[in-house]
Structure 1
């Protein structure tokens, strides 16, 4: 290790899914047992601090270390071992209380790596060199998925309309975006892109699809922090597949605590729910509200806390760790009511988009198709049903429409389109292809050829005439040099 790394501290946030093995939410007694195990690790000098909570199904353990204490040991390995020991002891206490399931009894006999897998251990490592004052902000999104924090993190660091640091101090940042597909597959080399200032639009093109890409890390590149000796340390990190965690440093060239609070509490929809297949809405939650095991449909409860790190990574007493959304209950309640209203509307879409994401909707449709495949037959060519029907009818009404272009945006068709269409209709009437009652109707920027004829349904001559008519509209526009909106699309 170099001298600078020896001065670094680390925050390791470890989440263990104990709730899946218990009857009900995580009781305070087992959280206290886990805390006692970690307190002994602090006394032994392995850890600098430990903050433990029950959030949803997770035993959430926020552990801190100092590289000078660890010598050559890896912080995340030390923290993971301590967290696993604390989680197993908590599970043992739950069994003694009669709350553990039959599966919980088997976990203690498994090898450590299998225990970690069974308990769905998720981790975040955040290295930092403690400044004179070091505010730390953490948010966890319960019932959310990989890319949930994309919008909040973008607004916090990159949105020119949010925050004051860019305008007042000249702060600017660099973002690292990773492929969620590669992260899910545990690929040794994850596709990642680095977006420096000036390439924000290119970054948005990826992170706007929060099912595919995650804004995972942010570094300061301009301003007091970005031009100082700590510029190589991350300003913020996001990690986790289920119930992801966001951690960031604040002040002195980085966003203020209030700006972090806004990013964690301002409403948006993002991936979450079962298998991350749904659009869940952000609902700020206090520690108490985050303790319950299940979330309402379409809801991601975001719990947040902040504190001042001291003495190279130590965490103050629990009373001095701020439960962010419990500070102003009146404002939190107002935001929650508005979030609930929007979430109810989204959930009303049930198994359809946009509540269900496009990939999941397609999978759902394919499953339904498999169930119903016995009811479907391949349509023959030609279609005997259509042919038999056409032999019995003497009058057919066809409505064929196209959007050949608009005056300004998708408003209304250019005036000369009607003249071209009416000339084509007169020609077709003269050739006895269609009856004299046929005409052009315009709805929005669409032209509808409403044609009465004796050719029957799905007739090639009628379709070809309609295509030629719409093509003529485009050809005349091109000949005259017009540049209508969406011409010929």
Structure 2
């Protein structure tokens, strides 16, 4: 048996009830059934099925490494099963994120998003899973910079000897499909110069510089507009973060979300709104198809399997994770997010409420300019 474990989160929007709101329970159950088959076949060791808003998220553990065709194929089949249910019920956007007719060996580029990390288990292996709805991968850049670069957020950067060494960042250019590895603290300002442009650059992976720790965080950075050849939607990204013992503590991973940062997406993928930290149960987008939701749940990985709060009656397997944003201490952040989002909405169709034209998911601007072409006159 391998001494390394792979944790994969693969997500997709394949249909929902009430517009872009929530997948039907039967869709979720179809995913559970398919992943149970995967466990019996030995493709994966363990799984958990959850959702954020209208996105189904499949959590998996296995020993096959990242980008494994059998693991990705299993998830593709699960999403296809859920899509069939959605189409039979005539649900909204059935199969939306499945951009090809057949699986070709890897789910990347086919529509669904994926975040995967392979590591050697420590004595205790707490993991925080972040799931976002109605936004894009670069939305994680701000909180991850606060967590892995800011000692006023993560005291461990000052007092933990291994965290004090700093971290390596893989930054991707999602437009030109390039990447660069940069290092903190020595390249902190250069890193921020890139990541401040959230339309182009995003964090993909973060590693500890301490050799005995390895990967610290990974984000799904697939962009559906690039994959499909046209803009078909924001990416509703997921992020996996290992915690404690040389890495940021769980509380340090969560702290940045007390600030409702403005992120791109929201209704029609074409607006800026404030991130709303909430429980999974409260992740339905009920205000102008939003505001953008962020959920955080926690489990341990123990001997290659998930360790959550056991619930034999759970419809998604025996694991029930800790739902970090469910508590009342997040009420003030939620109120601030709604207030900020209402402020942005009052701009109507004017920037900065709406995105720039290159980022708009829906826009009539080209058609309007074409219609006005003959009427446009040069300024004297």
TM-score, structure 1 length as denominator?
0.64
Matched, 1:256 2:256: no
With over 3 angstroms needed to count, the CA separation of the structure-2 counterparts of 1:76 and 1:192, relative to structure 1, is same
Residue 356 of structure 1: how far off its partner (Å): 2.8
- Could you tell me which residue of structure 1 aligns to residue 232 of structure 2? none
- Could you tell me which residue of structure 1 aligns to residue 219 of structure 2? 238
2:80 alignment partner, one of 80, 88, 110? 88
2:265 alignment partner, one of 262, 267, 272? 272
- Could you tell me which residue of structure 2 aligns to residue 460 of structure 1? none
CA distance in 1, matches of 2:158, 2:372: 59
- Could you tell me which residue of structure 1 aligns to residue 7 of structure 2? 11
Residue 182 of structure 1: how far off its partner (Å): 2.3
Residue 197 of structure 1: how far off its partner (Å): 2.1
* Greater RCO, 1 or 2 (C-alpha within 8 Å, sep 6+): 2
Contact 1:295 1:301 in 2 (8 A): no
With over 3 angstroms needed to count, the CA separation of the structure-2 counterparts of 1:93 and 1:357, relative to structure 1, is closer
Contact 2:266 2:273 in 1 (8 A): yes
Residue 176 of structure 1: how far off its partner (Å): 1.8
- Could you tell me which residue of structure 2 aligns to residue 285 of structure 1? 278
Contact 1:146 1:180 in 2 (8 A): no
CA distance in 1, matches of 2:93, 2:259: 41
Hey, which of these two has a bigger chunk of helix by percent?
A: 1
2:153 alignment partner, one of 153, 156, 162? 162
Matched, 1:304 2:287: no
- The 5-angstrom pairing of residues 295-444 of structure 1 reads 296=288, 299-316=291-308, 317=310, 318=318, 320-326=320-326, 328=327, 330-360=328-358, 368-380=368-380
Matched, 1:138 2:140: no
- Residue 215 of structure 2: SS of its match in structure 1? coil
**Which structure 1 residue ranges, 5 or more long, are not aligned?**
68-72, 184-189, 381-489
Residue 238 of structure 1: how far off its partner (Å): 1.1
Greater Rg over alpha carbons, structure: 1
CA distance in 2, matches of 1:133, 1:361: 42
Give the superposed CA RMSD. 3.3
Contact 2:53 2:133 in 1 (8 A): yes
With over 3 angstroms needed to count, the CA separation of the structure-2 counterparts of 1:333 and 1:103, relative to structure 1, is closer
With over 3 angstroms needed to count, the CA separation of the structure-2 counterparts of 1:17 and 1:42, relative to structure 1, is same
Residue 85 of structure 1: how far off its partner (Å): 1.9
Residue 236 of structure 1: how far off its partner (Å): 0.6
- Residue 354 of structure 1: SS of its match in structure 2? coil
CA distance in 2, matches of 1:27, 1:127: 32
TM-score, structure 2 length as denominator?
0.81
Matched, 1:192 2:180: yes
Contact 1:12 1:62 in 2 (8 A): yes
With over 3 angstroms needed to count, the CA separation of the structure-2 counterparts of 1:131 and 1:167, relative to structure 1, is same
